[in-house]
Structure 1
Amino acid sequence: MAHDYAIESLLRPAVELYTVYVCAAGAFLCVFAPWAFALTPLFGLVTSAGFLALGLVRLKQAWQVLRYRRNIRRLPHYTMTSKEVPVSNQRLFIGLGFRWQQRHTQRLMDTYLPKYASYVEATPLFRAARRFEERAEFAPYPVRLLAKATSWDVPINPVRPLPPVGGLPRLHGIEPYEENVSLPLGERVGHSIVLGTTRVGKTRLAEFELFITQDIRRKKHGQHEVVIVFDPKGDADLLKRMYLEAKRAGRLNEFYVFHLGWPDHSARYNAVGRFGRISEVATRIAGQLSGEGNSAAFREFAWRFVNIIARALVALGRRPDYLQIQQHVINIEGIFQEYASKYFDESDPKAWEAIVAIEGKLNEKNVPFNMKGRPFRVVAIDQYLSQTRVADPVMDGLRSAVRYDKTYFDKIVASLLPLLEKLTTGRMAELISPDYQDVNDPRPIFDWMQVVRKKAVVYIGLDALSDTEVAAAVGNSMFSDLVSVAGHIYKFGVDDGLPGGVPGTKVPINLHADEFNELMGEEFIPMINKGGGAGMQVTAYTQTMSDIEAKIGNKAKAGQVIGNFNNVFMLRVRETSTAELLTNQLPKVQVFTSTPASSANDSATGNTAFTSSSHDLVQQVSVPMIEPAHVVGLPKGQCFALMEGGNLWKIRMPLPGHDPDEVMPADLQALAESMRQTYQVGKVDDTGWWSAPGYQTLNESLPADLLDDFKKIAVAPEDAA
């Protein structure tokens, strides 16, 4: 057999079939005409059994060659419905594949040799059929019917078209014997990253739905796991898949949908309402501001003022949110007076008499220059505090803020206000600054600790196609909140503070972040660096390494992020440096090359005039296990996976099968359909592109007559076309 020799030969004619034909003929003759071999009937039967045994051995060997040649050009169809996805409490199913070894590099190199081109490239008949289909697209009916027959995707079609996945089938076809590939769940705490260019299967064919389906359905020791999915662009099919899987798993009561673009159907979430330390509120908000160059000083000022306001709100018994912080950044005097009223009522009730007396003596001429434009009551309180020693850090912070010149104060917080305006304009404020007192609002409010304790399933749609900055700001705030929750769980466990809770209890938290480079910031680094101790299992999806570096703005920090992902799933990428993230971590292997050689020498004896020889020279060459070009040439839905301590696997994920037996509720179905229409590039909704979620905020701020004129201007060019 081929594998018994140094150089394996599978790209060749299946010459074993000749032996099979001879053995079949011999067995037939031994049974029905034993006299042809001078055998008795009994010995004819015995001999026929020997022929059949030899024929079966050769048939198996021939089938290996034929199967290998078929796989090089076309892989067997592989589909799987969500019900068929295996769910294990020990491992995470990925797909069919094989562990890449030296022999696979050898086989792959052989496919590029010119002498094997006829076994690898498409046949002339196949190419002719494809050319005929192109020419017959607008041909008369009988010709079009023939073209339809040649493009019929059935096994009996001799020119059956290849599946529309592109790439090089040989990358997976070099190993005919596939096995189920899975990742031990214990390895997921080391986090995973999925890299692949647009439309190659990150979301649909590859890891996203496959992983999420298992995470939602997994139930270990009677307990489900937490599943959180960040989807910046808004994928309707992903939302539908999550709902259906939650329904099948009986988890609809713990299923939350948060979507910035569809406030009527969305749950509500206060990104700054829960914190371990009060300073986290300022960090989550000011962290969205630019820290490059001169902007760093303004960001520090913004952090300080937001922290002052957040401390005052908490001291007043209120939960901070974006609306309140924006209100008090614009009008710092209001919260200063409110806190002063509370403080003096509790600590110095007689202070108001002195404050009113001071206020009565004030006029525009005797107000200090830095307090110009402030209400007289604020000036009076400030002057009273100057005369009285008050040991209250919140009061001191508020007083230092109001003592700034109003014009100067407006300048140093100028970078903060645009961010707060974006986060509080229109109906978006209902979602990220929820009214906890409104009992008539049926939309649920959730926070991450509640999600973890309920072991909920959460879909986060950030509508990044409409407003990237708002999506990034909300996503970063959510990440910061998750980091805070992870720190609390790491120290005290999930049940901290609950009656009967077991200290130190942790649950798996499966976090899936699609296009995570759009959402990440400084706070993402501690999440993947230290979140594993709290049960956080991050699976991040992005396109290139450059996306991460461009978002963070620092190559060293980008390397720090990548270095925290222990499992790498590399689909087709277009950037060589991204492919090298995988290939540079692999060892070199020895492959064999065969070179034909011949020689002739004069003979020193009189018996022969010369001697000659012909032989094949077999040499060993050291080559990389795979090249970046192989990663670039991957078909859709296939990947190289580096996991479990650097083991390289070649995997193909199942195509999603049809699941027609589940129905979504009307509101989520309407949401999914709207998402599918709105987020398809190049499609215009029937109601007009100006009605998309990204323009709803603008529409609400425009007068009705101006909005009508705006629509007429937009429609006119379309009618003219």
Structure 2
Amino acid sequence: MSDRHVIETLLRPAVELYSAGAATAAGYICIAAPWSLALAPNVSYTVALGFATLAAVRANQGLRILRYRRNIRRLPRYVMTSAQVPLSYRQLFIGRGFRWEQKHTQRLHTCRRPEVEAYVNPSTHYYYARQLEKLCEHRAFWLTKALSQDSILNPFRPLPPVGGSPLIHGIELNEIDVTLPLGERVGHTLVMGTTRVGKTRLAELLITQDIRRGEVVIIFDPKGDADLLKRVYAETKRAGREDEFYVFHLGWPDISSRYNAVGRFGRISEVASRIAGQLSGEGNSAAFREFAWRFVNIIARALVELGRRPDYLQIARHVVNIDDLFIEYAKYYLPKHEPKAWEIIVQLTSKINDKNTPRNLQGRDKHVVALEQYLAMAKVYDPILDGLRSAVRYDKTYFDKIVASLLPLLEKLTTGKTAQLLAPNYSDLNDSRPIFDWQQIIRKRGVVYVGLDALSDSEVASAVGNSMFADLVSVAGHIYKFGVNDGLPEENQSKVPINLHCDEFNELMGDEFIPLINKGGGAGIQVTAYTQTLSDIEARIGNAAKAGQVIGNFNNLIMLRVRETATAELLTSQLHEVDILTNTVISGVTDSSDPFSKSDFVSNTQDRVSSVKVPLIDPSAIIQLPKGQAFGLLEGGQLWKIRMPLPAAGNDEFMPDNILQIADYMQKNYRTGEQWWRGAVMPESSDSDQNSTEALLKALADDNASAEVDDV
């Protein structure tokens, strides 16, 4: 009956149950006492079957009304263990929900009308139970505990502590699994929601599926959330991928892998771009940024030519004192082209004093002054040597002022234990922590958790995150041009899905992030970014146009509860308007002016239905979402209402109790390229072999010691 009206009416008494009961009684009479209805026994069964069919149809309609009324007050519990998360190689599971259509907007509008408050709001007895629960908290604790028990036996049990309005999701009785085709993920996904509303739970759900599919998974977590780290570790163990799991965590350097953000590059100029790109380029700072780029590029070119891998420590060292690198490179280059050059320089050095030293070279090493005099006479041309020479020509005081903006950044990246993680010593055989780079991770289908510990030091976290993003952009460009297996004998050059999960990505985002989402899809990078508000992105970038550029590159939008209207309008402004029906009751009385008329007045009552255009959803619906619920704009603008499963209360057998258990596992299982022999069974050796091995190790140790002395 409810489906036949112009306006769907679900918030009303379930009157269908009355006719269902009457039909049931009539059917019973037909079977038990057919004589009372003057029916023959063979006819009574047919009539009883008809009454039973009518009772079933009407009961189903009535129960639908009761389910709807219950649904908009309290949703059924939706719990799922990690092992129960569905896995598909074609679809990404997000949760359960329904496609939002015009009828849902109509129902939501109806639920907000004042005449249906009795069906939408909890009963008066519920409010009395909550008041009694508060009053008895210190007097009769047993009563408070009984009233607050979340059990079906408690008729006044409290609503789930998720806040919001349950009717937003409860207006639909038929839920289905909401999935996103994996082919759509390369268009990137943006997840927005205020604090503690379920962003991390959604991240765990998506990361779990990515790990089980055997794909590359990289998680950026600025806070360094221990629970998220434990979840990622548990899922890698459940999937049997422990050997592919890496942890880079600034807050736990003892278990952290090591990573050189400037050690791998396609072009040497990328080193300078990754470092100088983190400096401010606004206003007067642009000139200092360009000089810092040129100066770092000179240092990087010299280090590579000397056979060294650039890292932050070496660059910081030579920024502070360029003289040593100038002298070292001259010793390397000049003997190859001018065999007697260094003898002449030594002679010139002995004659250097304060009187014959140019003013701009005051305070420089005497070898630097002698080198400058020799090169001025010899007319030797080498681009790297000339670059170093131009750097030392600056007055030292003036030079320190120019690089003043570069030094704080390098200090952030080379202070304390951070230096050990970002500038690893490749020749240290006693350090079991592995050294990874992004190309290696992608090739071996690795899982990397990056914890930046932003709560302790946000400046260092931002600098390290930007460095990693810049490196990822470089790797993405290389993969786009040459494929994943460039340089390897494998012929399979197909793209590998690279799932990049960036929690609180506004804290990591810089100019490096824009090309990553703009062009990274061609290399298989699939970014899922999590943030709180649109203003966070604008505040981080400092430019509304660039913020719009970032948002415009996300094809899929999942929005949980937000507190900022502008953020909610990011979703609602992209939706069309729909017509909803409203009924208006009109009642009037018209007096009769004819004294001879038999009627004194004429009454008139109308039930008028009209349509009004309204948005498909309004910002208030997003602001009132309960925890764990979201609206999703998926697959080219299809609007879905989603709720995510709650984690089951049971213990996960793979979940560690604390970070120390993960640390213990890492210490036992970490393997580096320099320690491959520790995992192998060595054959028995003779005494001579043992002596030769010890001699070799001693020689390696001596070489390392001498190399360290040279570095100093």
Q: TM-score, normalised by structure 2?
A: 0.91
Give 3-state SS (helix, strand or coil) of 1:458's partner. Answer: strand
| Counterpart position of 1:552 | 541
Aligned 1:580-659 pairs, distance under 5 A: 580-600=569-589, 611-658=602-649
* AA in 2 matched with 1:308: I
| Counterpart position of 1:578 | 567
Q: 206, 210, 213: which one pairs with 2:208?
A: 213
Distance 2:168 2:378 in 1: 80
Q: 529, 548, 553: which one pairs with 1:564?
A: 553
Give 3-state SS (helix, strand or coil) of 1:265's partner. Answer: coil
Distance 2:457 2:9 in 1: 57
Q: 480, 492, 498: which one pairs with 1:509?
A: 498
Give 3-state SS (helix, strand or coil) of 1:264's partner. Answer: coil
Cα distance, 1:46 vs. partner?
2.1
Distance 1:285 1:157 in 2: 62
Cα distance, 1:531 vs. partner?
0.4
Distance 2:2 2:541 in 1: 52
Cα distance, 1:386 vs. partner?
1.1
Distance 2:20 2:403 in 1: 86
Equivalent residues of 1:228, 1:510 under 8 A apart: yes
| Counterpart position of 1:682 | none
Runs of 4+ with >3 A deviation: 599-613, 663-673
Cα distance, 1:622 vs. partner?
0.3
Q: Where do 5+ consecutive residues of structure 2 fail to align?
A: 665-712
* AA in 1 matched with 2:646: L
Distance 1:209 1:178 in 2: 22
Aligned 1:110-121 pairs, distance under 5 A: 110-121=110-121
Cα distance, 1:389 vs. partner?
2.3
Q: TM-score, normalised by structure 1?
A: 0.90
Aligned 1:688-707 pairs, distance under 5 A: none
Distance 1:145 1:505 in 2: 64
Equivalent residues of 1:462, 1:475 under 8 A apart: yes
Q: 175, 179, 204: which one pairs with 1:178?
A: 175
Give 3-state SS (helix, strand or coil) of 1:650's partner. Answer: strand
Cα distance, 1:666 vs. partner?
8.9
Distance 2:589 2:367 in 1: 112
* AA in 2 matched with 1:125: H
Q: 193, 198, 201: which one pairs with 1:196?
A: 193
Cα distance, 1:659 vs. partner?
5.2
Cα distance, 1:25 vs. partner?
1.3
Equivalent residues of 1:495, 1:501 under 8 A apart: yes
Distance 2:655 2:82 in 1: 16
| Counterpart position of 1:246 | 236
Render the CA deviation track for 1:607-661: whole Å, top value 9, x for unaligned. 8776543221000000011111111000000000001111110000000124534
Cα distance, 1:236 vs. partner?
1.2
Cα distance, 1:291 vs. partner?
2.3
Q: 320, 335, 340: which one pairs with 1:345?
A: 335
| Counterpart position of 1:81 | 81
* AA in 2 matched with 1:172: H
Evaluate the alpha carbon distance shift between residue 434 and residue 627 of structure 1 in structure 2; reply closer, same or farther with a 3 A threshold.
same
Aligned 1:272-671 pairs, distance under 5 A: 272-502=262-492, 504-600=493-589, 611-658=602-649, 660-663=651-654, 668-670=659-661
Cα distance, 1:600 vs. partner?
4.8
Distance 2:663 2:197 in 1: 22
Cα distance, 1:420 vs. partner?
1.2
| Counterpart position of 2:26 | 26
Distance 1:647 1:4 in 2: 28
* AA in 1 matched with 2:644: M
Distance 2:484 2:662 in 1: 33
Equivalent residues of 1:90, 1:184 under 8 A apart: yes
Distance 1:209 1:168 in 2: 25
Query: Larger deviation: 105-114 or 299-308?
Result: 299-308
| Counterpart position of 1:232 | 222
Cα distance, 1:494 vs. partner?
0.2
Aligned 1:125-144 pairs, distance under 5 A: 125-139=125-139, 143-144=140-141
Distance 1:642 1:663 in 2: 34
Cα distance, 1:238 vs. partner?
1.0
Distance 2:649 2:484 in 1: 38
Render the CA deviation track for 1:296-332: whole Å, top value 9, x for unaligned. 2222222211111111111111111111011111110
Distance 1:237 1:665 in 2: 10
* Identity percentage of aligned residues: 65
Render the CA deviation track for 1:559-604: whole Å, top value 9, x for unaligned. 0000000000000000000000000000000000000013455699
Query: Larger deviation: 383-392 or 368-377?
Result: 383-392
| Counterpart position of 2:158 | 161
* AA in 2 matched with 1:209: E
| Counterpart position of 1:5 | 5
* AA in 2 matched with 1:556: A
Give 3-state SS (helix, strand or coil) of 2:95's partner. Answer: strand
Distance 1:529 1:521 in 2: 13
Equivalent residues of 2:221, 2:449 under 8 A apart: yes
Distance 2:573 2:558 in 1: 14
Distance 1:64 1:579 in 2: 32
Evaluate the alpha carbon distance shift between residue 400 and residue 659 of structure 1 in structure 2; reply closer, same or farther with a 3 A threshold.
farther
Query: Larger deviation: 273-282 or 92-101?
Result: 273-282
Equivalent residues of 1:81, 1:656 under 8 A apart: yes
Equivalent residues of 2:578, 2:615 under 8 A apart: yes
| Counterpart position of 2:55 | 55
Give 3-state SS (helix, strand or coil) of 1:594's partner. Answer: strand
Give 3-state SS (helix, strand or coil) of 2:632's partner. Answer: strand
Distance 1:391 1:543 in 2: 55
Distance 2:408 2:588 in 1: 82
Distance 1:659 1:549 in 2: 41
| Counterpart position of 1:712 | none
Give 3-state SS (helix, strand or coil) of 1:289's partner. Answer: coil
Distance 2:252 2:230 in 1: 15
Equivalent residues of 2:580, 2:614 under 8 A apart: yes
Give 3-state SS (helix, strand or coil) of 1:496's partner. Answer: coil
Cα distance, 1:670 vs. partner?
4.5
Query: Larger deviation: 302-311 or 547-556?
Result: 302-311
Cα distance, 1:293 vs. partner?
2.6
Equivalent residues of 1:236, 1:672 under 8 A apart: no
